[in-house]
Amino acid sequence: MRSSIVTTRPNLISVTIVLLLLIFLVIELQTGTFFASREVSSSPEIRQQSIMAVLTVAGNQSISVNSAKAIDGATILSGATIVTPNQVNARVGLGLLATLDIAPNTTVKPEFDQNRAIKVTLMQGCVILRTDKGIAGEVVTSGGSVRKTNSNEGGPLEVCFPQGAWPGLRIEQDKGVGLFYFARLAALGVIGGRLRTNMAVGLDDRGSNPGPSSP
């Protein structure tokens, strides 16, 4: 009897220790302490943005995002105020969920959330909002009017405020063609640059490694 107690007690202690360790590990892993602690110390807190949009602007042109100059490839966060200057179109792409084409001389604030809802506040100018099926999109103007996309069909929603036509070079309304517009402009830029270079010096030196003096 005594010997059995002596032999079972260490087993019980071991099992208890293992169980406690397991519980501790599960809790720590769930809270992410083990993995996050080093990151927190080296990297400051960052607000998690589940959805980030991509800005597309043709060529070397730039627009204003939150009053700062932004060029092609910029990250657009929900709630950013976007202003396009004269003769500069822009596009805000939310992956395959939606795209927002922005005409020149337009001020607009796109907002998007994890509930697959996109709200565009148009202060001035023209926009075309395209959403994928199942995405709720709406354009609200400063004048108070609200227009919504058909979430079953998607499709483009063109809105101008104050009422007017799309200024300057128009982005076609057919789905997808608008995207091509930017790629096409980029292509023309690439080809044009090459042809000009070829004509000028007979060599294509665009691909060479630029020096620090000419960024």
Partner 1 sequence: MSFATEKAAPLMDEGRDPGTAAFLLRTISVVAVLAILSLAAWWAGRSGLVSLLTIYAAKTNQVAAADAALRLSPNDPDAHFVRGAILESKSVAAAVEEYKQAVCKRPEDYVLWLDLARAQEFNGDVAGAIAAASQGVRLAPFYAKPHWLLGNIFVRAGRNDEGFRELRLAGASDDALLAAIIDLEWELSGGDADFVRRAVDPKSPESYKALANYFKKRNKVTDAIEMLRAAGPAAEQERRQYLQELISAQTIKEAALLWSIDHPASMVDQLIDPGFEHESNLDEPGFGWRRENKAGSLSLSLDQKDPNEGRFSLRVDFNGDSETGTPIISQFILVTPGAHYRFHFVARTESIVSGALPYVAVADVANHVILGRISPFPQMRTDWQEYLIDFKSGEKSSAVQVLLRREACGQSSCPIFGHLWLDNFSIEKL
Q: Is position 38 an interface residue for partner 1 (rule: CB under 8 A)?
A: no
Nearer to partner 1, 10 or 44 (CB): 44
| Contact between residue 102 and residue 75 where contact means Cβ atoms under 8 Å apart | no
Q: Is position 209 an interface residue for partner 1 (rule: CB under 8 A)?
A: yes
Q: Of 146, 164, 176, 196, which lies in the binding site for partner 1, with binding defined by CB under 8 A?
A: 176
Residues present in the chain in total: 215
Stretch that binds partner 1, among 6-14, 108-116, 127-135, 199-207 (CB under 8 A): 199-207
Nearer to partner 1, 14 or 75 (CB): 75
Nearer to partner 1, 17 or 187 (CB): 187
Smallest distance, partner 1 to C-beta of residue 6, A: 55
Smallest distance, partner 1 to C-beta of residue 102, A: 16
Contacting partner 1 within 57-116 (CB under 8 A): 62, 65-75, 77, 80, 93, 95-96
Report the candidate in 88, 107, 110, 109 with the shortest Cα–Cα distance to residue 98. Answer: 110
Q: For residue 138, give every residue at least 6 positions away whose Cβ sits within 8 Å of its Cβ, in sequence order, or none.
A: 118, 119, 120, 146, 147, 148, 149
Q: Of 32, 40, 188, 196, which lies in the binding site for partner 1, with binding defined by CB under 8 A?
A: 188
Q: Is position 202 an interface residue for partner 1 (rule: CB under 8 A)?
A: no
Pairing, β 136-141 against β 117-131 = parallel
Smallest distance, partner 1 to C-beta of residue 136, A: 22
Q: Which residues are at the interface with partner 1 (CB under 8 A)?
A: 42-47, 49, 52, 54, 56, 62, 65-75, 77, 80, 93, 95-96, 176-177, 179-180, 183-184, 186-188, 190-192, 194-195, 204, 206-212, 214-215
